[in-house]
Chain A
Amino acid sequence: MIRIEDLVFAYPHGPFRLSIPDVTIEDGEKVAFIGPSGSGKTTLLHLLAGIEVPGSGTVTTAGCEVSSMSDAERRDFRVQHVGLVFQVFELLSYLDMLDNILLPYRINSSLALTPEVVDRAKALAERVGMADKLGRYVDRLSQGERQRVAICRALLPQPRVLMADEPTGNLDPANKDRVLEMLVQQADEAGATLVTVTHEHDVLGRFDRTIDFATFHETVGAAP
């Protein structure tokens, strides 16, 4: 379960201010946050993932109160329980596809890279139809393929929550559908909660619920 209570967040410099009184997302739910650019969608994901901590209020993700954890605890929590998918994929150009999928296991010692994990990575690649491209450097992959790799990377640690930040923002319509489809399907198969932020209304049909940033209208300050 994800729960936000009386959240207030501001960056140390600048006028941006985010304030969310109460949001609850059940386990396994697929939720899309929608709102215009600069409304704080990405910041909300960062707060849920424990990348940022609120000025006040509490954030509970997957049953853990991330807002009260230490830096190290939040990092470990994140790498173990949260799968992140970014708008521009953020793959490492000097690693091949397999190594990109395995990245979480290489950069945090709370995850142990075992042959079983590697097999799982290969199985994921298989599931997204890219088993034949494991050895390729990612800059040799198409945009759609790259996002599929990014999804595999997010799913590999078997997270309880999958968070996607504008995951289709850089894709053409055909790929957009496929990636979204895949995201939803993989979250289903993994039994993970899916939290997506987007400004594209046409994709909302695939989610169980849409939370519009407009509902925080009176409390959300605009970024400069």
Chain B
Amino acid sequence: MKNAFYMASRYMRRHKGKTAILIASIAMIVFLPLGLQTVVDQTTSELEARARSTPLLVGRKGSPLELALSSLYFAAKPVEPLAMADVDRIRDTGFALPIPLHVRYRAREQPIVGTSLEYFDFRALRVADGRQMATLGECVVGASAAEALEVGPGDAVTSSPTDVFNLAGAYPLKMRVVGVLARSHSPDDDAVFVDMKTAWVIEGIGHGHDDVSKPEMAGQLLKRDGNKITASAQVREYQEITAKQAESFHFHGDPATFPVTAVLAVPNDAKSQALLRGRYLGKDERDQIIEPVAVMDELVTTVVKVRSYVTAAVVLLGISTLLMMTLVFALSIRLRRREMETMTKIGCSRGTIASLLGCEIGVVLAAGVAIAIGLTTAAHAWGPALLREVLL
């Protein structure tokens, strides 16, 4: 057998191109259905797990799917915001713990998620390195976000200045990274978490600037009418909240009107959940309350359906590829008939010839399958993230 392998390996080495194509074909026809299955199964189970672990979401009326995608997976497409008063509305019912979410900005590709501390308890997120955010302008980043942004505690993250809703441009705020979360294998790994208040600073609702009432600022004042000061746009707004400037940061308007893109509601029990849902059934209701698991089920059903069509197509493709490969082997054996005749004349049995050819086919198949398994393993590790990216 050692000699058969040797001969097979010499043959394959001499016909590298052909062997590589054969191995690649085998790898692909094995990997495609297998990898697809793995990735789709894993992704859907992740999607479902995330949805299952999120009992209720409240948002402005609109697409329930978009609300779920934005709030659970921090999808880039923003949803119309609610106000902070809507968070208190849930709290005041006493049925659920409301956790506000503000998903609107990005730091490069990573979503900036404004939320309250309860989110971390709810999602069981733990700070692995550094500490929890404590004040305006601080952020904690998910494990993947830390890698993508190449930051750790002590570094800074700057929010991207673009925002589809606000053409005047959002506040590009430099935030201090104070902690990196332990990996949770969920979309939280990709996020940059900030306090709601910091999100509002990015939004321009809260800001800090030089004190315009100070005499040295007179050059930048347009008008002073008693206690009413109109300052020029040159008044420097801080791009970063340092401890020194923190005191100067302030919010304009009624905090109850400040935006929240969604509220994650954690009901006390099943009865509270039903009662809370009932509160959003009114005809004039501006908001919607959704059960993410139901919404995601729809998406998952679609994905699974598409997957089964694709799998069927891939299997058919695989069968035809296998037939072609059989033909390739048959032709190759025909081409090598003289070689086999010579070996027979010298003293080689049919069995030995069969084992020589078998070795070749075996090695090609084994290599193809091994590559397919490798690819599937890779798909298992990376596919769901990729699929999420495509889906969301």
Contacts and interface: CB of A to CB of B under 8 A. Distances in A.
Interface stretch (B112-120, B155-163, B188-196, B339-347): B339-347
A75 B14 CA distance: 28
A76 B7 contact: no
B349 interface: yes
Contact of B346 (A71, A84, A93, A113): A84
A40 B232 CA distance: 113
B209 interface: no
A95 B348 CA distance: 17
B390 to A, nearest CB: 44
Interface in B1-33: 3, 6-7, 10-11, 13-15
Contact of B349 (A75, A86, A93, A99): A75
Nearest to B15: A94
Interface string B340-367: 0011111111001100100000000000
Given A75-B349, A90-B338, A108-B352, A103 B14 contact: no
Nearest to A107: B348
Given A106-B3, A106-B6, A94 B349 contact: no
A66 to B, nearest CB: 12
B343 A107 contact: yes
- Nearest 5 CB-CB pairings of A with B: A79-B347, A94-B14, A107-B348, A90-B342, A106-B3
Nearest to A99: B10
Given A86-B342, A107-B3, A108-B348, 16 more contacts: A51-B344, A72-B349, A75-B347, A76-B347, A79-B347, A84-B345, A84-B346, A92-B342, A94-B10, A99-B10, A104-B346, A107-B343, A107-B348, A108-B352, A109-B352, A113-B3
Interface string B313-353: 00000000000000000000000001100111111110011
Contacts of B6: 106
A107 B347 contact: yes
27 contacts: A49-B345, A51-B344, A51-B345, A72-B349, A75-B349, A77-B347, A79-B346, A79-B348, A80-B347, A90-B339, A94-B10, A94-B11, A95-B10, A99-B10, A103-B343, A103-B346, A104-B346, A104-B347, A105-B3, A107-B343, A107-B346, A107-B348, A107-B352, A107-B353, A108-B347, A137-B14, A153-B346
B347 A78 contact: yes
Interface of B: 3, 6-7, 10-11, 13-15, 338-339, 342-349, 352-353, 356
A94 B360 CA distance: 13
A82 to B, nearest CB: 8
B339 A75 contact: no
A146 B14 CA distance: 18
A119 B342 CA distance: 24
Nearest to B1: A109
Contact of B14 (A78, A84, A93): A93
